[in-house]
Amino acid sequence: MLTDPSPLAMLIFLIFVGFTLGISFWFASKSKSSASYFAAGGQIPWFVNGVAFAGDYLSAASFLGICGMIARYGYDGFLYSIGFLAGWVVALFVIAEPLKRMGRYTFADALNSRFQSRAVTFAAGLSALVVSAFYLIPQMVGAGALIMPLFGLPHWMGVIAVGLVVTVIVVSAGMVSTTYVQFIKGALLVLFSGLITILILNRGLTSTDDPVAMQPQVLTVTTSGEKLIDGTPLGSGAGQARIRGVGQLASLAKGPNGEDRTSTGPLSPWGFLQELNQSQVILWNENTQSTEKGKVTTYSPIVVSGQEVLMPGRSPLFQGIKSDSIWPKLNFISLMLALFAGTASLPHVLIRYYTVKDGRAARQSTVVGIATIGVFYILTLFLGLGAMTGGNIDLTDSNMAAPLLARTFGELPFALVSAIAFTTVLGTVSGLIVAASGAVVHDLLVGWLQIPLSDHQKVRFGKLVALLVSVMAIGLGIWFQKFNASFLVGWAFSVAASANLPALVMVLFWRRTTGAGVAASVLVGMLSSLTWILLSQETFQNVYGYAKNDAAQMALVPFSQPGIVTIPLGFLVVIVVSLLTRPQPATENE
Amino acid sequence: MHFDHQPVNESAPQSLASQQGNARLGMRLFIFYTSLYSLFVAISAFSFSSLAIPLFGVPAAVTAGFGLILGAIVLAVLYARACTSE
């Protein structure tokens, strides 16, 4: 933790969360039917729905994860911005209108509209549940990262806090309140990201010659769990030390007359990038070793050119694209494919097409969503680079870069950005839980198990499922604390794209597709991508706890991102199984 | 194996022509954008040094990234304006 909690920041934050809850309770009084709970009755205005798309989609991964990755490694985080936005092209040009025409509440409705098959309902419902759960993990990890600097509380308490607030939102009113929370949050997120970017550009770039900026830092987590910074206990009291905030320029380019400079003054957006391109930046390498004392992580400064910062390949995830080995290149292509194909496969994004009245409104709201999301992703580059050069990065947690950047401009921006980031998590998690809840009630209980439920019972079961999913999300958020949020979302996109996209595309564009083909494709895509992830080096290292070299030897797949194998596999399965089975009449039940 | 060129239609026949026109336009724009995105990914993976070429005072990686994001917004607006209503 870099700084002490601020009462002003806490107050503003609590007002924000209270306001959000107030909206939820207000909409709760208007939302009684299952159509209203799961799909907002199909009556959300297209512009509101478009901004809510952004509020739903711009998750903790986008705001905290991407900014954090850019702040630590440069351009690599921007690759996620590019991939995430490109995915909306698939959603708008290929999926939006036909999907709207084919469904009512859930992704399974659309997938099954030609078959009325219980097998398809089961596969699609299970897939929606698994993908939503996977996507929940980074949101909860991000929530914990926000609470730490704001309240000075441990990560797990932040995860529990967001879990409780989201449960209140979802259980109180479902999709209507979720939509308006996402609308407000999406608008505020883009607005305040723009304001922080203006502050960054107005501050310009400054270099430092302070020798402290180049001193390594050593974090030791002893076998008893105590944390030491350079041998001194971690904390803000007497005889304790904090980890030092980092993020400086070693030098700037010479001025127009060949003079040395230490500050640029205010810059235009492109001028900021051009100045950085000619500067020297202090970045930090990280090396962790297990010793008799415990786990020792050494953070060592390294000076790199600004041009290198504005190129991919500095983060551990993307370093391989600079090598001659084919596997890291395939890993990179696989991730970019999953980001491209994953957006149109995410159940919580797809259900938003059922909250508007017709295909035209679905199309218009997607365009608003793309514009809002695109502007935000451009801002992420400035936010991340602003954090990289703002002197307040916490080396132990990349997810905190954006809020800590805001703190360099004062307590008020910090409080506002933290509150907005927290509502970011609330908005996304609420949408995910509604999607998961809809999948369980409509697809698994009513569709697959064929349990007859009245409209009132569907809502009650939906709220019960929402509660259970929230508890599960809290547990997963605590377990995955050490991961970068963007990295985790990459996996969620891979599972979604592998399980859902092949079946969805083939249902829309190939009349010979059968229910058996769809069900098999969803199940094979989901299981193969999950299995691939569980057998990858990253999972052995960061989930099972093996050292890097051991994890590399034990991994059973050559790279960690499954999409390049499992998405084509999904297409292959739906084609082969469809050709081997008879097309069903519209009313046939499997 | 025969692929249909338009989405399988599930709605009222009177809007069929409108739906098919929108779908054809969407598919063309999708293929165009996918080609650009694929080119960017391929260059990043197999011609890494090309990303360092200066374009407007910054590495081409930055210019291409901005281009892909802004290009998606522009194509989305064009698509929305060109589509006929149902």
A517 pLDDT tier (thresholds 50, 70, 90) = very high
A585 pLDDT tier (thresholds 50, 70, 90) = low
Residues A526, A478: one domain? Answer: yes
H or E segment at A402? helix A401-407
State both tokens at A417: 């950005």
Q: In the beta sheet, which residues pair with residue A290?
A: A295
Residues A418, A504: one domain? Answer: yes
| Total count of domains within chain B | 1
Chain A CA closest to residue B29 = A93
Indicate whether B1 belongs to any domain.
Answer: no
| A378: pLDDT strictly greater than 80 | yes
Residues A266, A179: one domain? Answer: no
Give the residue, A361 or B67, on which the prediction is more confident. B67
Give the residue, A56 or B58, on which the prediction is more confident. B58
Residues A50, A142: one domain? Answer: yes
Indicate whether A24 belongs to any domain.
Answer: no
Residues A344, A464: one domain? Answer: yes
| A444: pLDDT strictly greater than 80 | yes
Q: For residue A480, give the nearest of A144, A81, A71, A73 by alpha carbon.
A: A144
| A280: pLDDT strictly greater than 60 | yes
Range of the domain at A299: 211-322
Which domain CATH number covers A115?
A: 1.20.1730.10
| B24: pLDDT strictly greater than 60 | yes
The one-letter code for the residue type at B3 is F
pLDDT of residue B5: 41
Distance from CA of A376 to the nearest CA of B (A): 10
Residues A159, A259: one domain? Answer: no
Q: In the beta sheet, which residues pair with residue A280?
A: A251, A305
Domain boundary among A322, A347, A373: A322
Indicate whether A18 belongs to any domain.
Answer: no
Judge whether A468 and A170 are in contact, CB under 8 Å. no
pLDDT of residue A587: 46
Mean per-residue pLDDT, A294-307: 92
- Among A82, A267, A504, the residue to mutate for chain B (most B Cβ within 10 A): A82
Mean per-residue pLDDT, A495-517: 91
Largest CA distance in chain A: 80
Residues near A481 by beta carbon (within 8 Å), at least 6 away in sequence: A141, A144, A155, A156
| A351: pLDDT strictly greater than 90 | no
B12 pLDDT tier (thresholds 50, 70, 90) = very low
Indicate whether A23 belongs to any domain.
Answer: no
Distance from CA of B32 to the nearest CA of A (A): 10
State both tokens at A116: 């009325």
Residues 363-392 of A with CB under 8 A from B: 363-364, 366-367, 370-371, 374-375, 377-378, 381
pLDDT of residue A27: 67
Indicate whether A16 belongs to any domain.
Answer: no
pLDDT of residue A172: 67
Domain boundary among A292, A322, A352: A322
Mean per-residue pLDDT, A365-372: 90
Tracing tokens 């219980």 back to the chain, one arrives at A118
Residues near A40 by beta carbon (within 8 Å), at least 6 away in sequence: A31, A174, A175, A176, A179, A355
State both tokens at A166: 């989201």
Say which of A360, A377, A509 has its CB closest to residue B86: A360
Pairwise CB contact (< 8 Å): A101 & B11: yes
Residues A390, A484: one domain? Answer: yes
Range of the domain at B26: 16-47+54-82
Mean per-residue pLDDT, A110-118: 81
Indicate whether A483 belongs to any domain.
Answer: yes
Judge whether A155 and A144 are in contact, CB under 8 Å. yes
Q: To the nearest whole percent, how much of chain A has pLDDT over 90?
A: 32
The interface predicted TM-score (ipTM) is 0.86
| A77: pLDDT strictly greater than 90 | yes
A35 pLDDT tier (thresholds 50, 70, 90) = low
Give the residue, A353 or A77, on which the prediction is more confident. A77
Mean per-residue pLDDT, A266-271: 96
Cα separation, B51 vs A407, whole angstroms = 33
Residues A99, A168: one domain? Answer: yes
Least confident of A34-48, A208-222, A253-267, A479-493: A34-48
Cα separation, A454 vs A460, whole angstroms = 10
pLDDT of residue A484: 66
Mean per-residue pLDDT, A225-246: 83
Least confident of A162-171, B31-40, B67-76: A162-171
- DSSP annotation of A583 reads P
State both tokens at A49: 């729905």
pLDDT of residue B11: 45
Least confident of A11-15, A40-44, A51-55, A498-502: A40-44
| Total count of domains within chain A | 2
| A117: pLDDT strictly greater than 80 | yes
A51 pLDDT tier (thresholds 50, 70, 90) = confident
Residues A167, A284: one domain? Answer: no
B67 pLDDT tier (thresholds 50, 70, 90) = very high
Indicate whether A31 belongs to any domain.
Answer: no
Least confident of A71-75, A102-106, A419-423: A102-106
Residues A359, A299: one domain? Answer: no
Mean per-residue pLDDT, A336-361: 82
Cα separation, A486 vs A203, whole angstroms = 28
Residues A170, A240: one domain? Answer: no
pLDDT of residue A589: 40
Least confident of A103-117, A355-369, A539-553: A103-117
A193 pLDDT tier (thresholds 50, 70, 90) = very high
- Among B14, B40, B58, the residue to mutate for chain A (most A Cβ within 10 A): B58
Pairwise CB contact (< 8 Å): B22 & A313: no
Q: In the beta sheet, which residues pair with residue A294?
A: A222
Domain boundary among A305, A322, A339: A322
Express each pLDDT in A127-180 by its tens digit.
Answer: 888 888 888 888 888 777 777 767 777 778 878 887 887 777 777 656 666 777
Residues 24-63 of B with CB under 8 A from A: 26-27, 29-30, 33-34, 37, 40-42, 44-46, 48, 51-52, 56-59, 61-62
Indicate whether A6 belongs to any domain.
Answer: no
Q: Tell me the average pLDDT of chain A.
A: 84
A360 pLDDT tier (thresholds 50, 70, 90) = confident
Indicate whether A8 belongs to any domain.
Answer: no
Judge whether A215 and A301 are in contact, CB under 8 Å. yes
pLDDT of residue A168: 76
Q: To the nearest whole percent, how much of chain A has pLDDT over 70?
A: 92
Give the residue, A350 or A371, on which the prediction is more confident. A371
| A588: pLDDT strictly greater than 50 | no
State both tokens at A5: 């909690």
Indicate whether B7 belongs to any domain.
Answer: no
Residues A285, A198: one domain? Answer: no
